[in-house]
């Protein structure tokens, strides 16, 4: 049973606190030369915390988080978050120490466009149930696929 306290949870604060405590992580970051690596650090009632690693050139498709709000912070290295503005992808560099919050309908792409590996901590509330992947064509987003927690990851 989940009890709501009515207190808003600051997902970025949770991401930053988790990123600052790597000795508390249940496993060490790993790097996979074929694809970005990820592992769930914690699930706590109204949110979950994930650790992701990115080698240079690794990234995601354009996606949302299935209705979950979120936040992430960069632990080391640098990533670029790309969002759609005016029908085009616009990138924002995110160096170590930087983070951001986003709402439940946020669509973005994350990529390591640098030359060094990167590590990030992501928090989603509620826990991820689905992710929708999109394609940007002629300035418009169209749904490519929907994946579901427990079935696809």
Q: What is the pLDDT of residue 72?
A: 98
Residue 94 pLDDT exceeds 50: yes
Mean residue pLDDT across the chain: 94
Give the list of residues 6+ apart from residue 7 with CB closer than 8 angstroms, or none.
none
Q: How far apart are CA 31 and CA 16, in angstroms?
A: 21
Q: Is the pLDDT of residue 2 over 90?
A: no
Radius of gyration of the chain (CA): 15
Alpha helix (H) ranges present in 30-153?
Answer: none
Average pLDDT over residues 3-11: 63
Is there a contact between 83 and 108 (Cβ–Cβ < 8 Å)?
Answer: yes
pLDDT in tens, 19-73: 999 999 999 999 999 999 999 999 998 999 999 999 999 999 999 999 999 999 9
Q: At a CB cut-off of 8 Å and minimum separation 6, what does 124 contact?
A: 11, 47, 48, 50, 65, 68, 69, 70
Q: Is the pLDDT of residue 6 over 80?
A: no
Our measurement of the distance from residue 122's CA atom to the centroid of its chain's CA atoms, rounded to an integer in Å, reads 5
Q: What is the pTM assigned to this prediction?
A: 0.92
The total number of residues shown for the chain amounts to 153
Paired with 43 in beta bridges are: 48
Query: Percent of the chain scored above 70 by pLDDT?
Result: 95
Q: How confident is the model at residue 152 (pLDDT cuts 50, 70, 90)?
A: confident
pLDDT > 70? residue 79? yes
**Contact (Cβ atoms closer than 8 angstroms) between residue 94 and residue 76:** no
Domains and CATH numbers, the chain: 11-148 (2.60.120.10)
Beta bridge mates, 22: none
Q: From edge to edge, which strands make up the β-sheet containing 88-95?
A: 88-95, 78-85, 108-111, 62-63, 130-137, 140-148
């Amino acid at each position: 049973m989940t009890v709501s306290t009515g207190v808003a949870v600051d997902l970025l604060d949770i991401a930053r606190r988790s990123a600052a405590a790597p000795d508390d992580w249940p496993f060490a970051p790993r790097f996979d030369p074929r694809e970005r690596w990820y592992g769930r650090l914690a699930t706590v009632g109204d949110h979950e915390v994930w650790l992701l690693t990115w080698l240079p050139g690794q990234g995601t498709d354009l996606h949302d988080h299935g209705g979950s709000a979120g936040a992430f912070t960069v632990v080391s290295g640098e990533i670029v978050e790309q969002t759609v503005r005016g029908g085009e992808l616009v990138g924002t560099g995110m160096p170590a120490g930087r983070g951001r919050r986003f709402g439940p309908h946020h669509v973005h792409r994350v990529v390591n466009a640098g030359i060094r590996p990167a590590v990030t901590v992501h928090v989603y509330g509620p826990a991820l149930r689905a992710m929708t992947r999109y394609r940007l064509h002629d300035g418009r987003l169209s749904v490519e696929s929907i994946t579901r927690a427990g079935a696809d990851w």
